[in-house]
Amino acid sequence: MLKKTLIIVSLFAAAQYSLSQIEQAQKLVVTVSAEWDSSSGAMYLFDKIDSKWVAARANVPVCFGRSGLAWGDGLFEKRDGMHVKKEGDKRSPAGVFEFGSLYGLDSLPPEGVQYPYHQITKLTRCVDDGMSKVYNQIIEEDSSSKDWNSAENMHRVYPDYKYVLMVDHNPKHIPGEGSCIFFHINRTPTTGCTSMDEPDMRIFLQWLDPHVKTVLIQLPKKEYEQFQKQYMLPAITINQ
């Protein structure tokens, strides 16, 4: 009985933490697909003004992983079920996340972008080898002892990584749960990222404010509608 009570208390605490993360956000990015296996969808941007979500952009076309979406690990605990994110599954993570660092191939970010920017060099790698100590991290290859057998050479991923914003998925770097998840340009189905046309990515990056808490909610439409009612999120429609 004690064990069952502790589990209930733990789940309640996790739910309260997740709710607080959404409530504290001042900017909201929503990306939705029609179904779990859909490789395309739409992005919506919202600003919180006078405690209400106000749309900044709507129905921006995006692409997800070739196989669709699967529950990932972010601000919400990973959900159990048939769609659970794994390394190499070609699915983008579903759930609630924050964004990490912004990278790009150009020496400077697009005009008007306030977000801290790092130029990708010939040595920039994102490590996807679960046996490595730097799994699911972006590093410069000469900055640590090489202990991986697999990593993305980000300098070679063109045009996709002309602008690339890291999604804070699998923040504990648990082997096999998925790595190197980004928002980037070149709107085609991906191996697990979310992609969009370059002009849309520029506008998105200009809209971001590094001094304001921003949350990404990425879900199939049916699941988003459940979140919307539970967490008083803005309603959306997909025009596809």
Give the pLDDT confidence of 85-120 residue by residue, as tens digits.
999 999 999 999 999 999 999 999 999 999 999 999
236 lies in some domain: no
Q: Report the distance separating Cα 34 and Cα 96, nearest Å.
A: 17
Q: What pLDDT, on a 0 to 100 scale, did the predictor assign at position 1?
A: 53
Q: What pLDDT, on a 0 to 100 scale, did the predictor assign at position 20?
A: 75
Give the pLDDT confidence of 145-198 residue by residue, as tens digits.
899 999 999 999 999 999 999 999 999 999 999 999 999 999 999 999 999 999
238 lies in some domain: no
Domain tally, the chain: 1
- pTM, rounded to two decimals: 0.90
162 lies in some domain: yes
175 lies in some domain: yes
13 lies in some domain: yes
Closest by Cα among 85, 64, 66, 65 to 74: 85
148 lies in some domain: yes
What domain range is 187 assigned to? 2-231
Q: Is the pLDDT of residue 16 over 70?
A: no
Q: Report the distance separating Cα 194 and Cα 107, nearest Å.
A: 23
198 lies in some domain: yes
46 lies in some domain: yes
For residues 100 and 183, the answer to whether their CB atoms sit within 8 Å is no
CATH number of the domain where residue 122 is located: 2.40.440.10
